[in-house]
């Protein structure tokens, strides 16, 4: 595995963990309709209120769900990577959502026409079960974001954000400016400067002009608030089949030293 974040790997739908665990029968219906797309940093997959045309199965890209306020400031509600789907409103039946989906880390994805997914969704047991469970996991991430915003320090929130992002990347380097991170977390850029400075002085991360590298993941995990673990555990619980094909149950529990005294 090289250090390049997005090497020109031949894209493969199975890089998306949800697609990876779909039974063969479902795949036969779905795969012919999958359309590979390349997602650029900052691109919006949908705007608030847009009628969605496709659902996106991310493979190497990361997408943030952002709520943009009337005055223009924003807050991230959830992060989606190759563990998930962007556009749940399509099969949830709501058609639109009151938030934006923007590419946080560029990469690839496959998309599927809304009509196709809706049709499949109504006849497919495995697909439905999988998607509903994913949605519940997403729901957990959202509610935990609310909790974290209320109770935890910016340092902790940055840790959580870094870990959530890292779990969705093949490397431990994030291409991201402090300005953008601030947008995601809904705080000032200067606040991120300070928090990131703290983490760097503690030897947990290293950063430089739009690149953040996590150098001590266990250290981050020791400093993050409980929110991260809640989200991760729910993912593992709800999507064990997905986790089996995913690197991150491992990459994350390898270092669970602080857990050993609890369960």
Residue 99 engages its own copies in binding (rule: CB under 8 A): yes
**Binding letters toward its own copies, positions 55-74, x by CB under 8 A:** ----------x-x-xx--x-
C-alpha separations of 17 from 21, 25, 130, 163, 191 in Å: 6, 17, 11, 18, 34
Q: Judged by CB under 7 A, does residue 196 bind DNA?
A: yes
Q: Which of 4, 25, 44, 147 binds its own copies (CB under 8 A)?
A: 147
Burial of 51 (C-beta count, 10 Å sphere; 0-12/13-18/19+): exposed
Q: Which is nearer to its own copies, 37 or 97 (CB)?
A: 97
| Of 34 and 195, CB closest to DNA | 195
* C-alpha gyration radius of the chain: 18
- Under the binding rule (CB under 8 A), the answer on residue 44 touching its own copies is no
Give the contacts of 71 (CB within 8 A, at least 6 positions apart). Answer: none
Binding track, positions 115-144, relative to its own copies; x by CB under 8 A: -------x--x---x--xx-xxxxxx-xxx
Q: Is residue 49 classed exposed, middle or buried when 0-12, 13-18 and 19+ CB atoms within 10 A define those classes?
A: exposed
Whats the size of the chain, residue-wise? 263
Whole-number minimum distance, CB 247 to its own copies, in Å? 23
C-alpha 9/C-alpha 15 separation (Å) is 11
Q: Select from 8, 24, 208, 263 the one that contacts DNA (CB under 7 A).
A: 208
Map the footprint of DNA across residues 175-194, applying CB under 7 A. 177-179, 186-191, 193-194
Which of DNA, its own copies, none does residue 219 bind to, with CB < 5 to 8 Å depending on kind? Answer: none
Q: Detail the DSSP E strand segments found in 114-207.
A: 173-175, 205-207
In the complex, what is the shortest distance from the CB of residue 68 to its own copies, in angstroms, rounded to a whole number?
9
Query: Which entry of its own copies, DNA, none binds 4, CB below 5 to 8 A by partner kind?
Result: none
Closest by Cα among 174, 179, 177, 167 to 224: 167
23 binds its own copies per the rule CB under 8 A: no
Residue 238 CB, nearest distance to its own copies (Å)? 5
22 binds its own copies (CB under 8 A): no
Q: How far apart are CA 100 and CA 2, in angstroms?
A: 32
Which phi-psi region, left, alpha or beta, contains residue 246 (left: φ > 0; alpha: ψ -120 to 50)? beta
Q: Binding of DNA at residue 68 (CB under 7 A)?
A: no
In the chain, % helix, strand, coil (3-state, to 5) comes to 45, 20, 35
For binding to its own copies (CB under 8 A), which residues are involved?
Answer: 65, 67, 69-70, 73, 75, 77-78, 88-89, 91-94, 96-99, 122, 125, 129, 132-133, 135-140, 142-147, 149-151, 186-187, 226, 230, 233-234, 237-238
């Amino acid at each position: 595995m090289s250090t390049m974040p997005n090497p020109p790997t031949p894209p493969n739908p199975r890089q998306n963990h949800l697609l990876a665990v779909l039974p063969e029968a479902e795949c036969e219906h779905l795969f012919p309709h999958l359309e590979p797309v390349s997602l650029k940093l900052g691109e919006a997959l949908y705007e608030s209120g847009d009628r969605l045309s496709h659902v996106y199965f991310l493979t190497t890209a990361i997408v943030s769900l952002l709520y943009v306020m009337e005055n223009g400031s924003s807050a991230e509600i959830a992060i989606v990577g190759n563990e998930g789907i962007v556009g749940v409103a399509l099969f949830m039946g709501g058609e639109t959502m009151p938030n934006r989906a923007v590419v946080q880390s560029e990469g690839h994805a496959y998309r599927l026409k809304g009509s196709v997914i809706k049709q499949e969704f109504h006849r497919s047991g495995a697909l439905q079960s999988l998607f509903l469970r994913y949605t519940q996991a997403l729901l957990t991430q959202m509610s935990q974001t609310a909790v974290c915003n209320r109770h935890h320090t910016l340092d902790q929130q940055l840790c959580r954000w870094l870990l959530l992002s890292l779990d969705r990347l093949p490397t431990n380097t994030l291409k991201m400016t402090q300005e953008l991170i601030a947008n995601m977390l809904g705080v000032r850029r200067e606040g991120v400067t300070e928090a990131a400075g703290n983490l760097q002085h503690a030897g947990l991360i290293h950063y430089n002009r739009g690149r953040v590298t996590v150098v001590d993941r266990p250290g981050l995990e020791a400093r993050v608030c409980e929110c991260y673990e809640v989200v991760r555990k729910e993912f593992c619980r709800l999507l064990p089949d997905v986790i089996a094909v995913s690197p991150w149950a491992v990459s994350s529990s390898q270092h669970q030293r602080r857990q050993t005294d609890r369960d």
